[in-house]
Chain A
Amino acid sequence: MGSLKVMLVDDEQEFAITLAERLRMRGIETITAFDGEEALKLIVGDKPDVVVLDIMMPGMSGLQVLGKIAEIHPGIPVILLTGIGSTTEGIAGMKIGAHDYLMKPIQIEELIDKIRAAVKK
Chain B
Amino acid sequence: MNLRQSIGQLFSGLAEVPGEETSPIRYTIMRRNMTILMLLITLVPLSLMTVINYYEYRSVLKDEIVTPQKVLVNKAKHSIELFLANRLATVNFIASAYSYDELADEANLNRIFRVLKREFEGFVDLGLIDSDGIQVSYAGPYKLQGKDYSEQSWFEHVRVNGTYISDVFKGYRRFPHIALAVQTMPSTGKSWIVRATINTGKLDELIASMGLDAESDAFLVNKEGVLQTNSKYYGQALEQCPCVPSVSYEPTVLERVDPSGREIILTYAYFPTTDFILMLIKPQAQVMRAWYSLKGDLLLVFLLSVGLIVAVVLRLTKTMFQRMKESDDKRALALREMEHNHKLSSIGRLAAGVAHEINNPLAVINEKAGLMKDLIEFTPNFPEKERFMAPVGAIIGSVERCRTITHRLLGFARRMDVEIQVLDVNDVIRETLGFLEKEALYRNIKVNLNLGKELPKIESDRGQLQQVFLNILNNALQAMDDGGTVSLATFERDENFIGVTIQDTGHGMSEETLKHVFEPFFTTKAAGKGTGLGLSITYGLVKKLGGDVDVQSKVGKGTRFTVYLPKKHDMTQGSNNG
Query: Which A positions have Cβ atoms within 8 angstroms of B?
Result: 12, 14-15, 18-19, 21-22, 25-26, 56, 83-86, 103-106, 108
Contact = CB atoms under 8 A, between A and B. Distances in A.
| Best-surrounded residue of B355, B366, B406, B413 (most CB of chain A within 10 A) | B366
Contacts of B407: 84-85
A26 to B, nearest CB: 8
Contact of A108 (B359, B370, B410, B413): B370
A85 B367 contact: no
A49 B411 CA distance: 34
B315 interface: no
B370 A84 contact: no
Contacts of A84: 355-356, 359, 403, 406-407, 410
B367 A18 contact: yes
A84 B359 CA distance: 7
B355 A25 contact: no
Contact of B363 (A21, A22, A86, A106): A106
Given A104-B363, A105-B366, A25 B378 contact: yes
Top 7 A-B pairs, shortest CB-CB distance: A85-B410, A105-B366, A18-B367, A83-B356, A105-B363, A104-B363, A14-B364
A85 B355 contact: yes
Given A15-B367, A84-B406, A22 B374 contact: yes
Max chain A CB contacts within 10 Å: which of B370, B400, B411?
B370
Contacts of B366: 105-106
A106 B410 CA distance: 17
Contacts of A106: 363, 366
Contact of A15 (B360, B374, B400, B411): B360
B352 interface: yes
A21 B352 contact: no
Nearest to B377: A25
Contact of B364 (A18, A56, A83, A85): A18
Nearest to A18: B367
A89 B301 CA distance: 78
Given A84-B410, A85-B355, 7 more contacts: A12-B360, A18-B370, A22-B374, A83-B355, A83-B360, A104-B362, A105-B399
A104 B355 CA distance: 11
Interface string B405-441: 0110011011000000000000000000000000000
Contact of B411 (A85, A104, A105, A108): A85
Contacts of B410: 84-85
Contacts of B403: 84, 103, 105
B364 A12 contact: yes
B406 A14 contact: no
B37 to A, nearest CB: 58
Contacts of A19: 367
B371 interface: yes
Nearest to B405: A84
Contact of B368 (A14, A83, A108): A14
Given A84-B406, A85-B352, A105-B399, A18 B371 contact: yes
A61 B378 CA distance: 36
Contact of A22 (B355, B371, B406, B414): B371
Contacts of A108: 370
Nearest to B362: A105
Contacts of A22: 367, 370-371, 374
A21 B370 CA distance: 10
Contacts of B359: 83-84, 104-105
A20 B478 CA distance: 49
Task: Give the one of A12, A25, A84, A85 with max B CB within 10 A.
Answer: A84
A14 to B, nearest CB: 5
29 contacts: A12-B360, A12-B364, A15-B360, A15-B363, A15-B367, A18-B367, A18-B371, A22-B367, A22-B371, A22-B374, A25-B374, A83-B356, A83-B359, A84-B403, A84-B407, A84-B410, A85-B352, A85-B407, A85-B410, A85-B413, A85-B414, A86-B352, A86-B356, A104-B362, A104-B363, A105-B365, A105-B367, A105-B400, A105-B403
Interface string B336-353: 000000000000000010
Interface in B362-392: 362-368, 370-371, 374-375, 378
Contacts of B363: 12, 15, 104-106
A104 B356 CA distance: 9
Interface string B309-337: 00000000000000000000000000000
A111 to B, nearest CB: 10
B192 to A, nearest CB: 146
A14 B362 CA distance: 11
A105 B399 CA distance: 8
The residue among B365, B367, B378 with the most chain A CB atoms within 10 A of its own CB is: B367
B568 to A, nearest CB: 25
A26 B374 CA distance: 9
Give the interface centre of A19, A25, A56, A83 by most chain B CB atoms within 10 Å: A83
Interface in B529-559: none
